[in-house]
Structure formats: C-alpha cells, structure tokens
Structure 1
C-alpha cells in the first residue's frame, strides 16, 4: 500500500509540476527534464508514469477538467444564479490554480487535440446548456437568445482568463462584477435580476464583487 501511495504522490507531483511549467512557459518550451526536476523526481520515474510530454499534457487536461466539473456542479435553485456563481468560482480558481489555468491554456495549443484540449470546450458547452435551460424557464429577457448570451459569457470569461495570465488583477471579482452589471439588465427578465445576483460564501474570493453587484440590484 505504501508503495502504491508513493506512486500516486509522484504522479500527482508530476502533473502539478507540468501544469506550472505549461502555464508559465508554454507547452512547447517546457521540457520533461524541467518537469521532473521541478517535481523532485528522476527522469526514470517520470517515464514510468508518462511515456511522453503529450501524455503528461493529457493528464494535466484531465485534472483540470475534474476541477472544472467541481465548479459547474454547484447548482443554485435559480438557473441564471448557477451561471453567475460558476463564473465567479471559475475566475477565482483561475487566479490560484495552475492546473486549471494550464488546462485552459492547452486548449489553445497547436495540435493539442487530445484530453488537454477539451477544457475550454467543456466550459462552453456547460454555459450553453445552462442558458438553454434558462430560456426554457422564461428567465431570459425578451429577444435574448441562449446562443447569443452563451457567446458573450464564454467570450468574457475567456478574455479574463487570457488577461489574467499577464496581470492577476483581472482575476479579481471586481472585473467580473463590472461585466455582470452591464450584461445582467439585458440578459435577465426584470423580475429575475435580484435573484440572479451572485450568491457566494462570506469571505470567499468572490464575496466583495458579489456585494457590489447585490447593492446594484
């Protein structure tokens, strides 16, 4: 059992190390020797777990997808509420989690068509599905299509993700609050506005932005 636990720890250390280097330097620049050195393991141990850098990138992508699943699994009673809460949780997580950032970054890489390329698509499909449900429930304002709304939300979160790589201030909840202040009156039926302000836990990274949006509505 102890040997198996060590193997799991080594594998996880390699995934974390790879994610940090992919996020900082890019997939092409990060080498297997750099990854193993950062993880504090031998090259032989790395190759025992991963046959190639592409396999390691796939593992990073899979780990990022699991973390994204935990974010999107938090459902509120109101469908639009679930969407707003998830955007705050995602942006906060991107600010602190190199694995999640690397998963999204791998989605942009040339030739990355395996597991590492799927995280952005998973997010897009989830946002689209939530807004389709919101439209069916009559929660969207008249004349607003789920498809158009999803395009705006996905583009905004992708923009914050990209900008935050160069300036972490973009991962602040304030950035997202400004976005929702502009979009929410256009997106939601008037009766849904107050219910749709973010419901985040007190003291969480998104709490300050949520308070500002709640004051607006």
Structure 2
C-alpha cells in the first residue's frame, strides 16, 4: 500500500511538472529531463510511469479533462436557471485557467497540431455548453435564438479568451467574462428572465 501511494504521488508530481513545462516551453521544446528535474525524480522513475513525452502529454490532457468535468458537474443539478449555471461555469473555467497549470496545459495540448490533437477538451466544453443551452431552451429562457448557434458563439468566445489568456491573464479576468455576458445576455435571454440573471456570476451578488 505504501509503495502504491508513493507511486501515485510520483505520477501526480510528474503530471504537474509536465504541465508546468509544457505551459512554459511548449510541447515541442519541453524536455523529459526538465520535467523529471522539476518533479524531483530520476529519469528512470519518469520512464517507469511514462514511456515517452507523448504519453505524458496524454496524461496531462486526461487530468485536465477530469478538472473540466468537475467544473461543469459542480453546476449540474444546482437550483437555478440553466442560463445562470452556464454563466457561473464560464466564470469558474476562466478563473481556474489562471490558477491551475494542468487545466491550462491540457487546453493548450488539446489544440496542439504537432501531436495531432483531437480537440478533446474543447469538444468536452462544447458538449456541456450545448446541453446547458438546450435545457435553457426547454425552460423557456431563450429569446428566439437557436441553442446550437448560441453554443458555437459561447464556445468560440470562451476558448478565444483561453488562448488570449496564455499571453495576458486579463482576458480571463472576472471583469472580461462579466462584460462578455453583459453584451450577450440581452440578446440571448427572454425578457421575462433577463433581470434575474447575474452576468458576474451568482456568487457575485
């Protein structure tokens, strides 16, 4: 049991270190020596857990996908309108992209063309946003707009903020996300519910 726990800690340390180096240097430039050194383990220990750099990157993406899943599932089944839950989730995503290097690196890796990335995290986010908007439509919250069209716009904007945020964290700030929803909600939400929505997130009330 002790050996298993130690091995799990080593694996998690390597994933975090890999995310840090990928985020700092990019996948192509990142070296396994830099990753093992940052994690405080030997190259042999790294290769015991991961056969190569691509396997490490896959594990970073998987860990990021689990973090994204926790963000969106935290807003499933919560009391409140589906539109407000979408607003809140987008704020949580933006905040954690600035705080969590694994989540940030996972998004970067998911669009990394040199690895033939499958856009996994972006697809995962798109699926959840689309489902949230379909629920909002069913609840009568939308202002005669197609959920699919709105989902594409929301995903394009929020993932655009993610990309821009790699160079300037201001793009992922609470103010930026709030202004985005201040612009979009009057077009998106039915007039009867617009006044109940909080562009800054329900926690900002």
Same fold (TM over 0.5): yes
How far 1:170 moved relative to its partner? 1.6
The separation in 2 between residues aligned to 1:7 and 1:70, in whole angstroms, is 24
In the alignment, structure 1 residue 84 sits paired with structure 2 residue 87: yes
How far 1:136 moved relative to its partner? 2.0
> May I ask how many residue pairs the two structures share in their alignment?
200
> 1:68-217 counterparts in 2 under 5 A?
68-75=68-75, 76=78, 77-113=80-116, 117-142=119-144, 144-197=145-198, 198-200=201-203, 207=204, 211=205
Partner of 1:44: 44
User: CA 1:117/1:152 → structure 2, altered by over 3 Å: closer, same or farther?
Assistant: closer
Structure 1: where are the runs of 5+ without partners?
201-206, 212-217
The separation in 2 between residues aligned to 1:45 and 1:195, in whole angstroms, is 54
User: CA 1:92/1:46 → structure 2, altered by over 3 Å: closer, same or farther?
Assistant: same
Residues 128-151 of structure 1: CA deviation (Å, up to 9, x unaligned): 111112112211002x11111111
Query: CA contact under 8 A between 1:61 and 1:117: conserved in structure 2?
Result: no
How far 1:111 moved relative to its partner? 4.6
The separation in 2 between residues aligned to 1:126 and 1:47, in whole angstroms, is 35
The separation in 2 between residues aligned to 1:44 and 1:192, in whole angstroms, is 59
**Aligned Cα root-mean-square deviation (Å):** 1.4
How does the TM-score come out when normalised to structure 1?
0.88
How does the TM-score come out when normalised to structure 2?
0.93
Partner of 1:65: 65
Structure 2: where are the runs of 5+ without partners?
none
Query: CA contact under 8 A between 1:74 and 1:82: conserved in structure 2?
Result: no
How far 1:107 moved relative to its partner? 1.4
Q: Where does structure 1 differ by over 4 angstroms across 4 or more consecutive aligned residues?
A: none
How far 1:49 moved relative to its partner? 0.3
Q: Secondary structure at the match of 1:195?
A: coil
